[in-house]
Amino acid sequence: MTRLVVASHNRMKAGEMVEILHARFPGLEILTLADFDGAPEPNETGTTYADNAVIKARSAAAFTGEWCLADDAGLEIDALDGAPGLYSRRFWGEHLPFPEKMAMILDLLRETPFAQRGARFRCCVALMPPGEIAPEVYADTCEGQIAETPSGAGGFGYDPIFWLPELGCCMADLTPDQKHAISHRGKVLRRVGDRIAELTASAP
């Protein structure tokens, strides 16, 4: 492997993944779907995070002819029976801004004691070679709670309401490096990185 495509049209997510990977592999050419005119946005019809990650990675590999990496992630809230989960980005409508999604979640949990606001971010990543070879899939989580009020201006998505008890702050309060060290996406990309290290080492 000498080139890798992060299979996402989401600017914030793709940027975060490129940042994490480039810090470990400064000599690896890392692109996103924004670098490929006409790259399709496949329908995420899977019933699991892994299904959707594979759908996106397979579509990108077929279009670009390159090694591709795609993820799917979600916020799972115990008091809401795991919602929004797989539908985190589409919760109350795909185009509803995240501040409004978070306000609705906080309203749903307004009578829920803080001790019962357990939650986690879960992330699956599919690493797909060009061709018809099956992808490799990796997964990890970051455990926390849902805060009573949003905090912080960093990160994206639900980060402002995801409380990290061991750090005493929300994920959006962290610097990028701090977030990458403990986040679901940072954890799983370290595992994927171990595999990429093997593949780059064997490249001619």
Q: 11-24 and 184-201 helices cross at what angle (nearest 10)?
A: 50
Residues β-bridged to residue 72: 124
The tokens 């490799």 sit on which residue?
A: 136
HSE-CB of 176 using CA atoms within 13 angstroms: 9
Residues of the chain by 3-state class (helix, strand, coil), percent to 5: 40, 25, 35
Dist. CA 118–CA 1, nearest whole Å? 40
Are 116 and 106 contacting, i.e. CB atoms less than 8 angstroms apart? no
Query: Of 56, 19, 26, which is closest to residue 178 (Cα–Cα)?
Result: 19
72 is catalytic: yes
Considering 72, 140, 159, 173, which one is annotated as catalytic? Answer: 72
Burial class for 156, CB neighbours closer than 10 Å (0-12, 13-18, 19+) = middle
Tell me which residues are annotated as active site: 72
